[in-house]
């Protein structure tokens, strides 16, 4: 079982990312647009772990109710593409430029919510903030994938809400 804490975007940002998903699909390439689960939404993963604290949702709810500026309503910026993953198949993603505020928020979430086995890729100093466009992209599809996206617009994205996701049970909390 894996649990994550993710930022969801405002409606404008979500539509913008979905447009990129659709561009890739229209070009006949793998894209997250093909993943039709209702939980599949554009997002920025802050924390990956084996288990969150039992009171993680309560802590998030309280922080969101206080309108903690570290956590919600933040604006971040997308600037280019990033490739993540192994040798033969990679993820193609939008690179999110981490500023001090975003790094501080991510560290707070990790410190206050994780109970066991935090994912090393979300450790401070190792976290690469990104918005996935396609996963398991074969090497021979990387060039066509990048070409299908065209010139990537550099733009801000508003981190509107948080959610807790469990890969076996789906969305556990959203606020």
Report yes or no on 160 lying in a domain.
Answer: yes
Q: What is the pLDDT of residue 98?
A: 92
Both tokens of residue 134? 């396609």
Report yes or no on 172 lying in a domain.
Answer: no
Percent of the chain with pLDDT over 70: 98
Which has more pLDDT, 68 or 175? 175
Q: What is the pLDDT of residue 62?
A: 87
Report yes or no on 57 lying in a domain.
Answer: yes
Q: What is the pLDDT of residue 67?
A: 67
CATH number of the CATH domain containing 65: 3.90.1140.10
Total domains present in the chain: 1
Q: How far is CA 95 from CA 29, 67, 132, in A?
A: 20, 26, 9
Identify the domain containing residue 125 by its residue range. 3-166
Q: Tens digit of pLDDT for each residue in 81-91?
A: 999 987 777 88
């Amino acid at each position: 079982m894996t649990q994550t804490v993710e930022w969801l975007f405002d409606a404008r940002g979500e539509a913008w990312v979905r447009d990129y998903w659709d561009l890739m699909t229209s070009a006949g390439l793998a894209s997250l647009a093909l993943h039709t689960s209702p939980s599949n939404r554009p997002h920025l993963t802050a924390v990956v772990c084996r288990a969150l604290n039992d009171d993680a949702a309560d802590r998030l709810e309280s922080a969101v109710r206080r309108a903690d500026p570290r956590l919600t309503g933040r604006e971040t910026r997308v600037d280019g593409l990033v490739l993540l993953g192994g040798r033969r198949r990679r993820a193609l993603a939008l690179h999110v430029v981490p500023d001090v505020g975003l790094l501080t928020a991510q560290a707070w979430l990790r410190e206050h919510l994780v109970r066991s086995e935090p994912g090393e890729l979300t450790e401070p100093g190792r976290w690469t903030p990104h918005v996935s466009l396609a996963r398991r992209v074969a090497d021979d599809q990387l060039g066509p994938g990048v070409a299908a996206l065209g010139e990537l617009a550099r733009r801000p994205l508003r981190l509107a809400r948080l959610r807790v996701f469990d890969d076996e049970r789906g969305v556990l909390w959203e606020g």
